[in-house]
């Protein structure tokens, strides 16, 4: 593997390849690791108290690659299989896991958040966390679906269960997560999709991949969205931004008895309780997604119904990718390739 080099140019010994010591361990040779705004938040220290991780450790929670080694009890994958990695390592024994709600596992680890992640050549995970991907898919092309795609799918699938033909769903923010959410909605529901974003290029991209209407957020966008629904508002709003005033806008675009799905985060939702009960609106949180969600998303990816727009960077240019992500120069998702 040789020596690695930091963004500052300083050489340091490459880490050893992790071994499959436990019976259900799976070692994945990374083919692609997605960069996420959560990575920026980790570097800023926002997750320090929540994750409790000790430095140094490796970030990166959107991973795909090839199975390098497996533990003695692993039967669902073999060496050489192409896989995408569910972001959580789960126990399989707690109430949430047994109910198929493994994203709320009581004993989970989160590689890239509270243990070593995928900004590396190899990742140690579990047999419960790997999903074989179709031969037509390549790890670097789908890596960001492991978290960004999974989160978008989870929220869009929740919304789709209540949407009917003739309904409207507003997607706020059509960037890294939102452009996936638009495609998932198009695959799962006949509802009309309205995309709102500050960037006209992002709005154009959203329309090209399935949105029925694109609205640039330039001051009167709430009124324009309501006009598209005859003044009533949308049955569902999925907010992939969660900051910069998007929460107030999102509530303003919602019709009576509508569902407001919160995905992005960064600001507080400030709504008088009398407005919530008088309009009977619902606030719904979304956190990543289950293993089964990831399996379903991989079906859509293999069918060509969900595609990522990506920019690739070699692993040793991780800092350039982070800088481009922070400055908004990434169209879609940034992918690191060892």
CA 293, CA 149: separation in Å to the nearest integer?
10
Domain with CATH 3.90.180.10 in the chain: 3-146+289-337
> What is the per-residue pLDDT for 8?
45
Q: Specify the CATH class of 150-285 in words.
A: alpha beta
DSSP H helical ranges for 116-218: 139-142, 148-160, 178-188, 200-208
> What is the per-residue pLDDT for 7?
44
- Gyration radius from the chain CA atoms: 20
> What is the per-residue pLDDT for 266?
87
pLDDT beneath 50: ranges in the chain: 1-12
DSSP state of 89: B
| φ, ψ of residue 83 in degrees (nearest 5) | -140, 155
Angle at 182 between CA 177 and CA 183, to 5 degrees: 100
> What is the per-residue pLDDT for 15?
59
71-115 pLDDT tens trace: 999 999 999 999 999 999 999 999 999 999 999 999 999 999 999
Half-sphere exposure (Cβ direction) of 167: Cα atoms closer than 13 Å: 23
> What is the per-residue pLDDT for 228?
95
Domain with CATH 3.40.50.720 in the chain: 150-285
> What is the per-residue pLDDT for 18?
82
CA 245, CA 265: separation in Å to the nearest integer?
11
Query: What is 3-146+289-337's CATH topology?
Result: Quinone Oxidoreductase; Chain A, domain 1 (3.90.180)
Q: Could you check whether the bond before residue 56 is cis, i.e. omega within 30 degrees of 0? A: yes
Q: What is the pTM of this model?
A: 0.89
Alpha carbon 81 to its chain centroid, in Å, reads 23
């Amino acid at each position: 593997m040789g020596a690695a080099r930091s963004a500052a140019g300083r050489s340091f010994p490459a880490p050893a390849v992790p071994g499959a010591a436990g019976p259900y361990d799976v070692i994945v040779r990374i083919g692609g690791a997605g960069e996420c705004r959560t990575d920026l938040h980790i570097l800023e220290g926002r997750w320090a108290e929540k994750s409790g991780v000790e430095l140094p450790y490796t970030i990166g929670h959107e991973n795909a690659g090839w199975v390098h080694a497996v533990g003695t009890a692993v039967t669902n994958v073999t060496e050489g299989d192409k896989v995408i990695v569910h972001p959580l390592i789960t126990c399989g024994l707690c109430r949430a896991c047994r109910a198929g709600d493994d994203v709320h596992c009581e004993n989970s680890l989160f590689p890239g958040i509270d243990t070593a992640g995928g900004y590396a050549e190899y990742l140690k995970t579990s047999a419960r966390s790997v999903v074989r991907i179709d031969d037509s898919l390549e790890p670097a092309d789908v890596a960001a679906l492991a978290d960004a795609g999974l989160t978008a799918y989870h929220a869009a699938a929740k919304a789709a269960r209540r949407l009917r033909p003739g309904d409207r769903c507003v997607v706020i923010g059509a960037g890294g997560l939102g452009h996936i959410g638009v495609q998932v909605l198009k695959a799962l529901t006949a509802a009309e999709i309205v995309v709102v974003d500050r960037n006209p290029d992002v709005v154009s991209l959203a329309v090209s991949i399935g949105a029925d209407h694109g609205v640039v957020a330039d001051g009167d966008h709430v009124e324009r969205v309501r006009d598209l629904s005859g003044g009533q508002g949308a049955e569902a709003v999925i907010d992939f931004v969660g900051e910069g005033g998007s929460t107030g806008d999102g509530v303003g675009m919602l019709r009576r008895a509508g569902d407001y799905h919160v995905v992005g985060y960064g600001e507080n939702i400030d709504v008088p309780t009398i407005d919530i009960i008088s309009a009977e609106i619902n606030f719904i949180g979304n956190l990543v997604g289950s293993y089964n969600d990831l399996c379903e998303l991989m079906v859509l990816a293999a069918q060509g119904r969900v595609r990522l727009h990506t920019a690739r960077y070699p692993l040793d240019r991780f800092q350039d990718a982070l800088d481009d992500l922070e400055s908004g120069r990434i169209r879609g998702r940034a992918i690191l390739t060892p």
